[in-house]
Structure 1
């Protein structure tokens, strides 16, 4: 490897001796290859540091088209490997100085990788998003609506505005309680569940509140039960969006400190 190239790491699995996925290109169209060490295998590609070095990356990460194309290529590799074997995905644009550094990582963090692989083997990640309509109003009671006190157009407007704010706050409280119930129910079927930050409406493409952005690690033999539970919760009201199964990004971190 030349000094102007780095090693891009996608995913780590146990070394079963199986060949790398054929015909699969990584980021920037670079060929996928494998580095084996200590019973583990890292799937990598060689990338130019002119594009993936520290300073160029700082600029590139602000280019949404570049970021989208890179993320798609990264996830394509991860999904292809994860379909074949249990695999620990690595964070987007994780670039090392060379193969030797990746090989050292496999040896130094062998036990951590094995623990992560044990945690996800036979399991897949499902995503569930729950939405609530912010326009859905909660009717104020008569005492709140009447209000008493001062009269006149200004006072009436203020009472109406206060009632609207109370209605919106109550709608949010009820929606949040609904999200908690949904999360608890799904987590009871899953091995583990995590609540991610709700997506910005510009990313979700929805005007509704996203009140739950959950990820759930589910045993393969309980997939049908998990999907059935989502359908039951959907029937109780509200809009639920199910995605997956995915490679277990949310549950494959090596430790509390996160990914390598």
Structure 2
């Protein structure tokens, strides 16, 4: 059984010698399988771990699954400097070399088109967070006959403040994604993550991924710096991640 990490093209000379020693499991070798202009990076894995029933039991172990996901990402990341990489999803398994070769041949046109779209570009992530906006300081109002009216006035001001703050944040999110996407080959706004997953202070407003070509990367990063300055007043904080293999732009990969 083969565990396949990624489809590759444009491999640099000696790229196979740069593959990590350990793959999806400790002691499991990583190999490159050539198939014309395309190739695949994979490991031979035991059925006792990755067979259908055995794998389901393993995936129920959160610590094991987390470690294997990190191993998968580690192997894929090692390929980025030496090849155009079409990363496959976690636990992409094939019966053997013949099955893998057949899949590569059957889907060659789709895979080559995807590789062409990814060639010369890297994926970057931008997570946008907002701290709670600061309310304007108000002077204390005297308690008296007009205190009821003052109460309703304060409630209205509070509602107007919240509405204005929400509008400012919505505008920041939309403008940020639009401007970053303008400097990218492709862009996607992924679902927002809960705090226990993203691990940052504040509320997430954008979880963007951007496929950025090498020749526009400097302009894209300059745009990000401009956004940080422009929206600092509304409590925006941008977190840059990457570069990553283009997980968000593979179009499904190999099936």
1:199 correspondence with 2:193: yes
Which shows bigger deviation, 106-115 or 49-58? 49-58
Q: How does 1:1-260 map to 2 (within 5 A)?
A: 6-14=1-9, 16=11, 18-20=14-16, 21-29=18-26, 30-133=28-131, 135-136=132-133, 167-168=161-162, 170-236=164-230, 237=232, 238-254=236-252, 260=255
Change (3 A) 1:62 1:250: same
Q: Give the structure-1-normalised TM-score.
A: 0.82
Range with bigger deviation, 52-61 or 37-46: 52-61
Distance apart, 1:32 and its partner CA: 0.5
**5+ residue gaps in structure 1?**
1-5, 140-150
Structure 2: how far apart are the matches of 1:19 and 1:217? 23
What's the offset of the Cα at 1:251? Answer: 1.1
SS at match of 1:10: strand
Query: CA-to-partner distance for each residue in 1:193-250, whole Å, 9 max, x for gaps?
Result: 1101112100111231110011111110111111111111001111111122221111
Conservation of the 8 A alpha-carbon contact between 1:137 and 1:171: no
Compared with structure 1, are the counterparts of its residues 166 and 101 closer, same or farther at alpha carbon in structure 2 (3 Å cutoff)?
A: farther
Unaligned 5+ segments in structure 2 are 137-147
Counterpart CA distance in 1 for 2:189 and 2:173 is 10
> Cα–Cα, structure 1 residues 99 and 207, in superposed 2: closer, same or farther, change >3 Å?
same
Aligned-partner Cα distance in 2 for 1:227–1:161: 42
Q: CA deviation at 1:165?
A: 6.6
CA RMSD in angstroms comes to: 2.9
Return 6-15 or 169-178, whichever deviates more.
Answer: 169-178
What is the TM-score with the length of structure 2 in the denominator?
0.83
> How far 1:33 sits from its partner (Å)?
1.0
Give the corresponding residue for 2:139. none
CA offsets 1:106-133 (integer angstroms, 9 cap, x no match)? 0000011100100010111111111012
1:78 is displaced (CA, Å) by: 0.8
Aligned length: 241
Residues 152-202 of structure 1, C-alpha deviation per residue, up to 9 Å, x if partnerless?
9xxx6x997887677555533431221110000001111111101112100
- State the shift of 1:62 in Å: 3.1
From the superposition, tell whether residues 164 and 47 of structure 1 become closer, same or farther in structure 2 (CA, over 3 Å): farther
- Runs of 4+ with deviation above 6 angstroms: 158-163
